[in-house]
Structure 1
Amino acid sequence: MRRLSAVSVVTSFRSYISALMGAIAALAFAASANAGVQSLDSIQAAAEQFVRSSLPEKSPKHFITAGNLDPRLRLDQCASPLEAFSQGTGLNTGRMTIGVRCPSAAPWTIYVPVTVEAEVSVLVLRRPLARRSRVELADVEPQVRRMPGRASIFVNDVATLQGHRLKRSLPVGTALTVDMLQPDVLVRRGQQVTLIAANGSVQIRAQGQALTEGAVDERVRVQNVSSLKVVEGVVESDGVVRVGL
């Protein structure tokens, strides 16, 4: 075996030391560069906490996840606690955008995508239903699912279905949400209705013809068939409209 000369050993040792010192210098530079940079994890955590704090105290289990931020992002370390806020929309949906800002002397703002899922008991369609169908007890079954959005948007009580129809056709397996339902139309355009006007113990009834349609508690326009006067009232029940005197 060939022996290394003293010169070769010294040269190799110096090269090793030089490479080691270069690596240490690079690490020191990176640490120095990142010392005044706000961590992306802290920004994501602020966005998640904001959404979590907006949930009711006694709510089903929610899963809140902030989206990834560009790893090249370099924001100055904030000297004050981060502030999160919403744009006023999307808080009931599965996807939203939350703003996170630094309120210190060198302010900055960034917007973080956040997804929300809920583990809920929800009524699921056992068969496809057409638009404007009533949803009967036999049409649904309860299931526990992990769903996008807040728990409050899902229907889990069959009583909620009473007096409502579907806004649109839905396939089998659909988890019902409140925005899929609409109240039954109790007064239709052209329908003969009973007008009721009350003042204390005095109640007056008259016959009218509906000019617009509406569900319970909605306002409709009706023409009195005797006086031909057009009045506006509130749908009280099927074919009954209450008006003011």
Structure 2
Amino acid sequence: MSKLKIFITFSIFSSLLLSTLNAKEFTREEIKLFAKNYVAQHLPTSQGSKRVITPADIDPRIHIKPCSVPLQANIPENYSTRNVNVKIYCESSTPWNIFLPVRVAEEIPVLVAKIKIAKGTVLDESNVAIEWRPLHQTRGEIIRDPAIVHGARSRRSLTSGAVITRRMFCVVCKGENVVISAITDNLTIKTKGTALANGVRGQQIRVRNNRSGRVITAEVKTINQVVINL
């Protein structure tokens, strides 16, 4: 064998040996964390929400070879918003790749019942609170500010943990006595009335003036108070 061939063979052997010595062994937890961080950095999220990213466990039968170069990852173009199959791969002299399913849950803050609530119960900080819930499990017009419902009444019975929407409570409730404020540029006139429908803040409802018997449409202002602008 010529000296050149010996030198080339030795160089290749040395490179392979050095690559093997410098190769890093990755635990399954390290690869899961790598996948989690990659998804967190490369998938968009909605404003006001957060993501809970949960990589699946790696099959213990899979043998993970050491890698002498930094790991790489790839997310397929057509992926589910809640399930991503992340490709993790090594491009060293002994390349390998695995596909790791990652579950992505987008959560938003919503108002929920802290305890079981009976119909007609006044809502306050003792029985409602803000919690993070998966976006795909929420329905209806959600509430993010508990102050909106404080003093309102539940229109139905609610189980502990139930998400509260605007349809489930009334700031002014049907049949209740209310104060009607008729407002002009220079004057405010108040009288008593009876709500003919349930309503929340900002909603228009029908109200009967108890003095005149006249039915008017007024805007729900706050607890047991409605307003009409003249």
Q: What TM-score, normalized to structure 2?
A: 0.42
| Structure with greater helix share of residues | 1
Q: What TM-score, normalized to structure 1?
A: 0.40
